[in-house]
């Protein structure tokens, strides 16, 4: 990042993450505006990948796409076989789950008061995935 450039907004980061996840066939992608509910972040992105290998691919694509916006995670948590990875971009937090952990933690229910942010996959990326 050079002088004078600004960091992308939390919404831009979240939508880029959702689109990157969709490009790598993650499913049940949800973007929640939690800014009025919690103070530690503005947006959650939640998605599901079908295997450990796909989780890794989804995470790599998300990091790649958001790095192109000029941001990188301040924290990356998860371990092989855990079924839940977290990428922390401060104002946007990305959760990549396997199916079992997604159902168990059910973040959408926990944050059910949070409005959903509508987004669409990028047409050229969604078809070329």
pLDDT digits (tens, 9 = 90+) for 107-117: 999 999 999 99
Q: What sections of 10-122 are H helices per DSSP?
A: 10-23, 52-68, 99-105, 107-110
Which one-letter DSSP state was computed for residue 50?
S
pTM above 0.85, yes or no: yes
CB-based contact 117:11 (threshold 8 Å): yes
pLDDT tens for 43-83 read 999 999 999 999 999 999 999 999 999 999 999 999 888 89
CA distances from 14 to 3, 23, 45, 89, 90 (A): 24, 14, 6, 9, 11
Q: In the structure encoding, which two tokens stand for residue 90, read together? A: 């401060």
Taking the C-alpha atoms of residue 45 and residue 9, their distance in angstroms, rounded to an integer, is: 14
Burial of 66 (0-12, 13-18, 19+ CB in 10 A): buried
Residue-level pLDDT at 1:
45
Q: pLDDT at position 66, please?
A: 97
Measured distance CA(32)–CA(102) in Å, rounded: 15
């Amino acid at each position: 990042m050079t002088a004078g450039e600004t960091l992308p907004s939390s919404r831009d980061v979240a939508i880029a993450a959702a689109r990157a996840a969709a490009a790598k066939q993650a499913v049940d992608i949800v973007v929640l505006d939690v800014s009025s509910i919690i103070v530690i972040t503005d947006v959650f992105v939640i998605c599901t990948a079908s295997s450990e290998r796909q989780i890794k691919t989804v995470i790599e694509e998300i990091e790649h796409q958001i790095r192109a916006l000029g941001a990188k995670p301040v924290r990356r948590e998860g371990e092989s076989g855990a079924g839940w990875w977290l990428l922390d971009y401060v104002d946007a937090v990305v959760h990549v789950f396997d199916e079992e952990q997604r159902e168990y933690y059910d973040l959408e229910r926990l944050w059910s008061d949070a409005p959903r942010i509508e987004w669409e996959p990028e047409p050229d990326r969604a078809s070329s995935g």
